[in-house]
Amino acid sequence: MTDKQPRPMIEIEGLHKYFGPLHVLRGIDLSVAAGEVVCIIGPSGSGKSTLLRCINHLEIAQQGRIRIAGEIAYRDEVGGVFRAHSNRAVAAVRAQVGMVFQHFNLFPHLTIIGNVMEAPVHVLRRPKAEAMRRGMELLTQVGLADKADNYPEELSGGQQQRAAIARALAMDPKAMMFDEATSALDPELIAEVLAVMRDLADRGMTMLVVTHEMNFARQVASRVIFMDHGSIVEQGDPAAIFADPREARTRDFLRTVLER
Amino acid sequence: MIELFNAEVAVENFGPLLAGLVLTVELTLVVMVLSLCFALLVALAGMSRFVWLRWVIKAYIEVMRGTPLLLQLVYIYYVLPEIGIRLPSFAAGTLALTLNYSAYLSEVYRGGIQAISTGQHDAAAALGMTRGLAMRRIVLPQAIRIILPTLGNYFIGLFKDTALCSVVSIQEVLFTAQIIAANNYQYFTLYTVVGAMYFAVSFPAARLVGYLERVTRGGYRSRHP
């Protein structure tokens, strides 16, 4: 690799998203460098999740450009005319960015190792034995080696979410996105998932994390972004944002969530 | 005194009646396999992004559900030859039953497919699966587990509906009994044996469907012991 001047892993320019008359993302510009851990915080309905879903093309933004690892993703614009990429090309880009969902979304008809092996075998066409070996490695990494042959419904929420992280990692993604990965968990299960995420950050994974866990953002993030009403209001070093937010809206939000 | 049930007649004609039952089961199995495949295509086409295709499918389903199966059988066997399409009995019966059952089964498939949460589609897409791959590997395996008992009930219905094929002179079990009875007038005996034969197949089948219903209600572990 010739990375004298490495392009950011994820680059977003002027992203606009509407749901009917609702303007959910109002011109988002964001770039995430390789190895960076960016936490996005903000009130519900501020567009955080929609932003992640647009980056993965689970929602289709009406305006703006997304680059993943330097490549223009999902559609080209030639002279003001947009041309959507083929489904296959969209799938290939998505395969490079792992996504972890609030409700885990494990495949209930497959065992845990089956969940982890599914995409490497059927999307990347890796040999089963290799996918299995790598899958077990990842399950060990998230502390679930002994649950490999169980079905998702037999696991606790925290275990399911760790399995979902292993499933995403099995694709060897260039970046990982977490969409409120701990919001659906009982309080006592949140820590085990955050520990796995922290470990992943320590290993140098590029991460984009939408979260309500302010301590995680404070301790793990290399940058914190505060979003409100579809815009990035403020961003910067976590210490600075939490200790001394510049914007009134950030201050109000932090006061509300930290008082709990 | 007339004996109602003549055991001698029953034994005498058991062979031909059993042959008729075998044909009934064969017809059921052939239509089952064909309609399982065709109904899936119909269901997928009915969810296509092409409006015209959705309308074609909708029209097909409504016509099949809005007219009697008996008429469809007669139509294919007696009316199509007038425009030069002449089908042998078994083929005509198979075609009519398959077209009819596929219309109903496609709706069952559609219900099963739509019961799979968007989260499953999102997760598959986020892993780089194309729509087709996600349908094949993630959505359908779950949907089929959901609709298995419903499919079972339709097939028990199909097994009994094959009796209608006597009108296109397929010698299934009921038609066989009609032919024999027309000669010896032993209606009570023959139709009782035929009734017993239908029941002997459909009752265990219904129990099997009941069992499927119970296990599909349980977790995934119980389905893979």
Residues of B in CB contact (< 8 Å) with A are 117, 119-120, 122-131, 133, 137-138, 141-142, 145, 219-221, 224
SS3 B187: helix
SS3 A230: coil
Q: How many helices (H) and strands (E) does chain A have?
A: 9, 12
Chain centroid offset of residue A114 CA: 22
Residue A1 has pLDDT above 70, yes or no: no
For the segment B98-113, what is each residue's pLDDT rounded down to a tens digit?
999 999 999 999 999 9
Subunit contact B128:A171, Cβ cutoff 8 A: yes
Subunit contact B122:A58, Cβ cutoff 8 A: yes
Task: Report the percentage of chain A scoring pLDDT > 70.
Answer: 98
For the segment A160-199, what is each residue's pLDDT rounded down to a tens digit?
999 999 999 999 999 999 999 999 999 999 999 999 999 9
**The length of chain A, given as a count of residues:** 260
**Cα atoms in the Cβ-side hemisphere of radius 13 Å centred on B42:** 27
As a whole number of Å, the CA-based R_g of chain B is 21
Q: Which residues, in sequence order, are CB contacts of B112 under 8 Å at separation 6+? A: B143, B144, B146, B147
Predicted local distance difference test score (pLDDT) of residue B225 = 44
Residue A124 has pLDDT above 90, yes or no: yes
The encoded tokens of residue B45 equal: 């086409």
Contact residues, chain B, for A91 at CB < 8 Å:
125, 128-130
Contact residues, chain B, for A167 at CB < 8 Å:
127
Predicted local distance difference test score (pLDDT) of residue B222 = 57
Residue A260 has pLDDT above 70, yes or no: no
The encoded tokens of residue A162 equal: 């760790």
The encoded tokens of residue B103 equal: 């219309």
Subunit contact B127:A123, Cβ cutoff 8 A: yes
Pick the range with the lowest mean pLDDT from A70-84, B60-74, B125-139: A70-84
pLDDT interval class at B218 (50, 70, 90): low
Consecutive H or E run containing B153: helix B140-161
Q: Where are the alpha helices (DSSP H) in A203-247?
A: 214-220, 238-243
Subunit contact A58:B130, Cβ cutoff 8 A: no
pLDDT interval class at A5 (50, 70, 90): low
Cβ atoms of residues A74 and A66 within 8 Å: yes
Alpha carbons B198 and B166: distance in angstroms, whole number = 15
Contact residues, chain A, for B118 at CB < 8 Å:
none
Of B126, B137, B220, the CB nearest to A108: B220
Give the residue on B whose Cα is nearest the Cα of A93: B128
Consecutive H or E run containing A136: helix A128-141
Residue B1 has pLDDT above 60, yes or no: no
Name the burial class of residue A92, with classes exposed (0-12), middle (13-18) and buried (19+) by CB atoms within 10 angstroms of its CB. middle
Give the residue on B whose Cα is nearest the Cα of A173: B127
Residue A74 has pLDDT above 90, yes or no: no
